[in-house]
Structure 1
Amino acid sequence: MGEEEGKLVRSLKSQILDLPPSCVEFCPAFPSYFLVGTYSLQPESAGQSRPDADIDAGPDEESDDQPAAPKQPQSRNGSIVAFKLSDGVITHVQTVPQPSALLDLRFNPHEGSRDICAVVSSTATLALFRLAPSEEQPLKHLNTMDIATMSRGEIEPSPGEEILFLSFGWHPSRADMMAITTSTGHVYLVRLSTFDGDWELSPEPVITHMLETWCVAISPVPATPEQCGVESSFRVYSGGDDSKLRFRSCNWNWDNGTLAESLPALESRGHDAGVTAILPLLRQEDGHELVVTGSYDEHIRLFSVPPFGKPKSLAESVLGGGVWRLNLVDLDTKPSQNYNWRARILASCMHAGTRVVELLKTADDEYQFRVLGRFEEHKSMNYGSDFQPGWKDKLSVVSTSFYDKLLCLWEFDLV
């Protein structure tokens, strides 16, 4: 790649972790702190060890005269590792071992709850932690529940069946709600009445894919006056290994915690492989929502999603690796000489490393992706990258890679 495909960035610091990292995020309440979730397949478990590969490793090779052995659940564990980044120095703060491997980790984005972190695991558990840097052990466990408990027994895995929670997304305007995806292709809504109390999981999925559901995001829909305080309208987006972006508009009744009548799920077929990342960007005056997606097919794409009907593809670009995670760096909706609006995005691109990407709606009303920067020191799967909150002209980025257990710190000028 040449300079026209983004400035190549070098690491400032790097270190090797104890276990393979699968996700990373800075704490919005305490921007000097970040957490890394890890994922380890135990040596006695046969099969692949990558988070996106061992969900269903497929049949093992066998001789023609030997019957296939029953498939056994794979044994995985992991950890949450807390670090502090200050003045360019990364300091290990705490390691909290976990009985399951972690697949996604995200802090609550809402004021007053931004010290709350949720993680989902390979045994279909949801766990909540609170980060309190003033404590001797800053990361405190609040509660853990599994899929059967949250669904009040409505969803109970069969003997030998594996259900993994693969990803989740917080509701952008309700601190007590999220959506969770599973290895069985489902998207469920979860209601957290209190962070340390009983949680409820919708027994019926709001969206179903034919294969693993890799990602999910919730986007609010402006409520009508009669809905205010009672019902919340929102749209759930999900991406699956079936190469589909699916979405559903929903009404949730907060008085009784039920899903009111909602429209059926719709889908877009504009991807050539599994959909692995979804970033709702902005809603336009005509009600169409602009949504960015990432895919195993190495593309980042922009779709216009109408209030009713199927999405329209507006732009796409090849990033050189499967686009596993998309983090919005900033969104400038004030028109300038060069654009009507601009978004800058941090993309974790699996085997290609990390990209800083710019998306423009130009003054000529065209949509364009452009790679501004690229970090390529990771030699294995880059699943997790995040930038330190509160940046001004320069991003401080922590990125990770799986097999080599590498964590890197690097900076990128956005002036």
Structure 2
Amino acid sequence: MSSEKPQSISSLITEFLDQPPSCLEFCPQDPDYFVIGTYLLHEEKPEQQQSGRENASSTSTVKQTKTGTLQLWHLNATTPQLQEKQVVTLSHAVFDLHFHPRQSTLLGIAGSDGTVSLYSISCSHHDSSNYPHIQHIWTRSVHDEDPGSIPSLYLTWFPKSWFPTTSSYPDGFAVTFADGRTSVFSTPLPAAAAQQGKERNGEGGQHDIAKGNGLDLIETQFEAPNGVAIEAWFVALASYTEEEAATDDSSIKSSSFIFTGDDFGSLNIRKFCAPDEEGDDGTSSDLSLEDCMISDTSDRARHHTAGVTAILPLPIMNMVANAPILLTGSYDEYIRVYHANSRRGTVLAESRLGGGVWRLQVIDTEEADAGEINFLVLASCMHAGTRVVKVTWKRRQATEIGDWDIQVLAQFTEHESMNYASGFWKGNRSTSDMVCVSTSFYDKRLCLWKLQL
């Protein structure tokens, strides 16, 4: 780990929200806008407690409910200025939200009531305003046991061509829950969609996830490892080219992965691969996700001494030494370069960031000298604020593990409570300044700051 002192950043603007912010993300379609999800806990005391009549033998409990909002904000990076444009009130709190990686106006959210909702963020032809609006598309329950009582904690979309069959499921997402379950929801196969009369977009039966009500999605459930009900805080999906096929275009073979992290500190890895045998039409379209799973392993908390709260597959197309390279964050305050090479895994580098590492995002990837790649990463570090981190990989060959280093370049520490949500502006920069927004939960701060790269 590099020992250079990070630069300390001061805010340019601070706004105060009306509810605690839990997550945020910039709009890919228009990078001057971002959406904040909020989480508000309501506590209602029983009537006898409210009137002061409770006694030592009373077994009454406080009733808790959760609500939230989606808030659309505009960022002027030049002025600079932050302006709230729209607030959508929700009957549940928002644990997580993410824009679709290919349909850039679609936004998925994970709700405290065990639901997933889909929204669009776009300009309406029926509105004279010149800014986009949040519009609801559908909401569905994604947990079948005691609906509404088990929260959805995290949601991630399928990367391109992630589903491990040659005739891929067009689209879908994975979601984790407070009881440790991970569920994958995929759009119907073309043949199944045709049988159900759902050829909606004229592309050979390919199903558009934004059409309909979301109830025809195909669900695959993966229960908590060892059957222990504990929060599964994070899920990440990724696909990699096998090393032996990386240089042979005629026989490229890829593997798909589901990575999950739980509150015990365990990192679970499920690997999927389409079988070599194909159907008469050259596809394996009748195979389910479970049919393609070839391994299911856990490191049993060997490396993380508290809950695993962030898993970031680094943007490396091929596996390295036959295994993926991940960046992980944990309640134990460490960011780690993690080689998912076996049931045990290996930590290649680590750095303590001063607070629980709740979220990680790749800002930029740069190939420096021959054999060196730098990953610039934004980290939301709970009570320690926000960090900008450089992760460096040096190696002689592309598939070599090589040497890894983690350097904290900058820190933003004005938040007075948990920094769960941060983001960076992806508009056209005329300077080397990086524009960021970050939030804190209990003091409801929204801060804008710049970093000279």
TM-score, normalised by the number of residues in structure 2: 0.77
Instruction: Tell me, in whole angstroms, the C-alpha distance in 2 between the residues paired with 1:8 and 1:382.
Output: 16
Partners of 2:33 and 2:74 within 8 A in 1: yes
Give the aligned partner of residue 356 of structure 1. Answer: 388
| Structure 1 residue 413 corresponds to structure 2 residue 439 | no
- The letter of the residue matching 1:244 is S
CA contact (8 A) 1:207 1:265 kept: no
Shift of 1:191: 1.6
SS, match of residue 302 in structure 1: strand
* Distance (whole Å) between structure 2 residues aligned to residue 157 and residue 35 of structure 1: 30
Aligned positions, number: 378
Distance 1:166 1:404 in 2: 22
Q: Aligned to 1:400, which of 422, 435, 439?
A: 439
Contact 1:239/1:278 (CA < 8 Å) preserved in 2? yes
1:195 is paired with a residue of what secondary structure? coil
Write the deviation string for residues 49-90 of structure 1: whole angstroms up to 9, x where unpaired: xxxxxxxxxxxxx99x74755x77630000000011123211
Q: Distance in 2 between matches of 1:67 and 1:73?
A: 15
Provide, for residues 100-126 of structure 1, a one-character-per-residue CA deviation record: whole Å limited to 9, x for no partner: 00000110111xx01100001100010
Indicate the residue corresponding to 1:50 in structure 2.
Answer: none
Q: Which range moves more in the overlay, 261-270 or 175-184?
A: 261-270
Equivalent residue, structure 2, for 1:221? 240
Q: Structure 1 residues 124-133 or 294-303, which shifts more?
A: 124-133
Q: Secondary structure at the match of 1:260?
A: helix
Give the superposition deviation at 1:232: 8.3
Any conservation in 1 of the 2:220–2:289 contact (CA below 8 Å)? no
Q: Which residue of 2 aligns with 1:180?
A: 175
The alpha carbon displacement at 1:263 in A equals: 2.4
Whether the 8 Å CA contact 1:210–1:242 is kept in 2: the answer is no
- Unaligned runs of at least 5 residues, structure 1: 47-61, 149-154
CA distance in 2, matches of 1:207, 1:331: 34
Q: Does 1:107 align with 2:126?
A: no
Does residue 1:131 correspond to 2:121, yes or no?
yes
State the alpha-carbon separation in 2 of the partners of residues 128 and 76 from structure 1.
19
Q: How far apart are the structure 2 equivalents of 1:367 and 1:412?
A: 24
1:6–1:24 distance in 2 versus 1, CA, 3 Å = same
The Cα RMSD (Å) is 2.8
What TM-score does the superposition give when structure 1 sets the normalisation length? 0.83
Structure-1 residue corresponding to 2:7? 7
- C-alpha change, 1:195 and 1:72, in structure 2 (3 Å) is farther
Letter in structure 2 aligned against 1:237: F
Q: Distance in 2 between matches of 1:359 and 1:114?
A: 28
The correspondence of residues 229-240 of structure 1 with structure 2, limited to 5 A, is 233-240=255-262
Q: Which residue of 2 aligns with 1:330?
A: 364
The letter for the 2-side match of 1:220 is S
Match of 1:289 in 2: 324
Q: Secondary structure at the match of 2:4?
A: helix
Residue 314 of structure 2 corresponds to residue 274 of structure 1: no
The equivalent residue for 1:344 is 376
| Partner-residue secondary structure (3-state), 1:242 | coil
Query: Does 1:202 pair with 2:202?
Result: no
Q: Distance in 2 between matches of 1:254 and 1:313?
A: 37
C-alpha separation in 2, matches of 1:28 and 1:255:
34
Per-residue CA shift, 1:120-145, capped at 9, x if unaligned? 11000100111113554611111000
Quote the Cα distance in structure 2 between the aligned partners of 1:402 and 1:311.
33
Q: 1:244 to 1:360 in 2, by over 3 A?
A: same
Alignment correspondent of 2:410: 373
Q: 1:45, 1:75 within 8 Å by CA — same for their partners in 2?
A: no
Could you tell me which residue of structure 1 aligns to residue 81 of structure 2? 89
Q: What's the counterpart of residue 54 of structure 1?
A: none
CA contact (8 A) 2:235 2:261 kept: yes
The structure that is strand-richer by fraction is: 1
* CA distance in structure 2 between the partners assigned to 1:186 and 1:221 by the alignment: 24
Counterpart Cα distance in 1 of 2:5 and 2:266: 28
Instruction: Evaluate the alpha carbon distance shift between residue 147 and residue 265 of structure 1 in structure 2; reply closer, same or farther with a 3 A threshold.
Output: same
- Aligned-residue sequence identity (percent) comes to 34
Greater CA radius of gyration, 1 or 2?
A: 2
Distance 1:254 1:121 in 2: 32
Question: How far did residue 91 of structure 1 move?
Answer: 1.6
Q: Deviations over 1:300-347 (max 9, x none)?
A: 0011123x5442110000000000000111122x3417x611111000
Consecutive unaligned residues of structure 2, counting only runs of 5 or more, are 47-53, 162-169, 188-206, 275-283, 397-401
Helix, strand or coil at the partner of 1:156: coil
Structure 1, residues 206-236: CA drift from partner, whole Å, max 9, x if none? Answer: 6546410001100113489xxx9xx984100
Q: Aligned ranges for residues 43-62 of structure 1 at < 5 Å?
A: 43-44=43-44
